[in-house]
Structure 1
Amino acid sequence: MNITVLGCGRWGAFHAWYAHHIGHHVTLWGRPGSPHLAELISQRRNEYMTLPRDIALTADLTGALAGADVVIISISAQQLRNLAGQIKGTGLTKMPFILCMKGLEIGTGKRLTTVMKEVLGPHVRTIVWVGPGHVQDFLAGMPNCMVMASDNLDRTKHMANLFSSPLIRFYYGKDLLGTEIGAAAKNVIGIAAGMLDGYHYTSLKGALMARGTHELSRLIAAMGGDAMTVYGLSHLGDYEATLFSRHSNNRRFGEDFILGKPFAKLAEGVYTSQALVDLSDAYQVELPITRTIYEIICHQKDPLEGLQDLFLRSQKEE
């Protein structure tokens, strides 16, 4: 099977490595001028892994898509609409596209599969691949469970079976909306967890987990999804990797924010908090944790006061 991976950052490089690891022919694409691609071309490695020599590296999008049986997209969620437009320009849109990002489009609050349909047409075959795991752990041989979901169960099963291995076991997600919202929202909860770590309030993560899943289940239900999806691998199942792991960019962003340290890596939860607040307003569903994180990051709300209001001051029914 010929697999093309679009995006050569940490996760894109890993998805290329993984697809090769389980026996596929792989092409890895990066944007022209990408420092990540330049590093991989010159050294065949980045700070996390060494890529096998027979993974093709290219900045030619048309060439990368030509002949691909499946395309994996692993970029920032906020760049998807632009990249989808470039893909449309190549005319190569008939193959399945697997989205390995967790986020919502800011300004619209739209799910990433919706963005794909808007740009590439209603018949585009899109699958999401989400769930717990870190590049560093997978490369060390630590297995995990993840989930794939789409609007067609047979397609979901086919892709999950195609990519399953002893390293990653895939489950079939039947609720695409809930899977996408839950996967995006867990990054916001991860930022909240890091802020608690920054204040040495780590013991409050239990309350954060309980309340975080509850508020997102209400939003998913209001949007027409299954409220129980949030308790699966896309959201609650990803909490260990996002709320506790030293590898979690979102958790580290939250902790460094409190400690006043600069953080240069991508923390997708920053953008997702804004998109979720917009959805909260549109569907009239209260998201107190999400809104507090958004106000702290984007509107300079006092973080200690905001977190204490959430967990230590209010008295209400559970």
Structure 2
Amino acid sequence: MNILVVGCGRWGSFLAWYLCSIGHRVSLYGREASPHFAAFQKTGTNGLVTLQKEVVLTNELRWDKADCVVVSISAQSLRTFMSAVPQGALDGKPVVLCMKGLEIGTGRRLSTIVEEYAPRARVAVWVGPGHVQDFVAGIPNCMVIDSPDPDTKEFLVPAFSSSLIRFYYGSDMVGNEIGAAAKNVIGIAAGMLDGKNKTALKGALMSRGTREIARLIKVMGGNEITAYGLSHLGDYQATVFSMFSHNRRYGEAFVRGEAYDELAEGVPTTTALLSLGEKHGVELPICTAVDAVLHRGEEPEQALADLFLRSLKREF
């Protein structure tokens, strides 16, 4: 299969490497001004992934040459990207979204943005746990592919599966997209606990975080059990504990007053989730606490105390 991977950052470049390694013909698109693209042009590596010689680096989006499009860009850039896609260019093609986020201004799920601009595309999401550093070291993991179209899932799961990644068939686009996005907010909260030497509270964070997001998924029409699957709870090890987690590291750096320059999708997702919570009448205490620290200047110690020392109530 001819696959176009859009986005040559850390995850996008891994996707190109992985898909090539399992036998697909892969083109990797990046902007000419991108330092990631320049690094691959010059050395063939970004320090994490060394691309096979068969991977075609390109700064031209040749939709006609692609049987499938895999997208790995910033979630907040998706609308701008889709608005520039020529009408009809994605008709009938699987478009696989590999970002975990929500549109900050609207709370929209990313698949619905693709459907808005390319209604005849076969949209899917690829979510779940895993870091580039582990995968390239040969450490396997389990992930999920979901789509509103059963035939698209049936096509993609066998085509993308290998001994390195075992894919499960998703059955809840709402739950998988909300869960995948929300786990980044939990990751920021985990980093804040690490930064304030309250790591022991991560168990409570994981338990209550999953419950919080399950309530939101349910009221939005999804299946609350999805929060306990690979897209959310199953991704906690990679997000809440891993040294490679950008969101965890961002939260830790933030409460310590240190600079952190890598993309943390959980920051805009916090705002988007709170707007969804307000819209649907769902209390999101962890998201609220993270927002209070990130955007309203509340002292982390106070926000964390308020979060975990709330009024007495039943657990379930």
Q: Could you say whether these structures have the same fold, taking a TM-score greater than 0.5 normalized by the shorter chain as the test? A: yes
Partner of 1:36: 36
Q: CA RMSD in A?
A: 1.1
Match for 2:239: what amino acid? T
| Structure 1 residues 124-143: aligned runs within 5 Å | 124-143=121-140
| Structure 1 residues 77-96: aligned runs within 5 Å | 77-88=75-86, 91-96=89-94
Aligned length: 315
Match for 2:108: what amino acid? K
| Structure 1 residues 196-211: aligned runs within 5 Å | 196-211=193-208
| Structure 1 residues 101-140: aligned runs within 5 Å | 101-121=99-119, 123-140=120-137
Q: Distance in 1 between matches of 2:313 and 2:253?
A: 31
- Picking from 262, 265, 278, the partner of 1:265 is 262
Cα distance, 1:2 vs. partner?
0.7
The answer to whether the aligner puts 1:241 opposite 2:238 as a matched pair is yes
Identity %: 55
Q: Distance in 2 between matches of 1:198 and 1:312?
A: 19
- Picking from 139, 152, 172, the partner of 1:175 is 172
Q: Distance in 1 between matches of 2:220 and 2:106?
A: 14
Q: Distance in 2 between matches of 1:261 and 1:222?
A: 37
- Picking from 186, 189, 210, the partner of 1:213 is 210
Cα distance, 1:94 vs. partner?
3.1
The answer to whether the aligner puts 1:4 opposite 2:10 as a matched pair is no
Partner of 2:308: 311
Retained in 2: the 8 A contact 1:88–1:119?
A: no
TM-score of the aligned structures, taking structure 2 as reference length:
0.97
Retained in 1: the 8 A contact 2:90–2:118?
A: no
Cα distance, 1:67 vs. partner?
1.6
Moved more, 79-88 or 199-208: 79-88
Cα distance, 1:92 vs. partner?
4.3
**Where do 5+ consecutive residues of structure 2 fail to align?**
none
**Any idea what the Cα deviations from partners look like across 1:232-256, whole Å, max 9, x if unmatched?**
0000000011000000000000001
**Any idea what the Cα deviations from partners look like across 1:42-65, whole Å, max 9, x if unmatched?**
11110212111121001111x2x2
Cα distance, 1:138 vs. partner?
0.1
Q: Distance in 2 between matches of 1:206 and 1:157?
A: 36
- Picking from 228, 233, 253, the partner of 2:250 is 253
Query: Structure 1 residues 284 and 92, CA, compared in 2 at 3 Å: closer, same or farther?
Result: closer
**Any idea what the Cα deviations from partners look like across 1:107-139, whole Å, max 9, x if unmatched?**
100000011011222x32100000000000000
**Any idea what the Cα deviations from partners look like across 1:251-309, whole Å, max 9, x if unmatched?**
00000111111000000000100000000000000000011101210111111100111
TM-score of the aligned structures, taking structure 1 as reference length:
0.97
Q: Secondary structure at the match of 2:53?
A: coil
The answer to whether the aligner puts 1:57 opposite 2:57 as a matched pair is yes
The answer to whether the aligner puts 1:45 opposite 2:42 as a matched pair is no
Q: Secondary structure at the match of 2:93?
A: coil
The answer to whether the aligner puts 1:152 opposite 2:152 as a matched pair is no
Retained in 1: the 8 A contact 2:125–2:145?
A: yes
Q: Distance in 1 between matches of 2:34 and 2:90?
A: 22
Retained in 1: the 8 A contact 2:64–2:89?
A: no
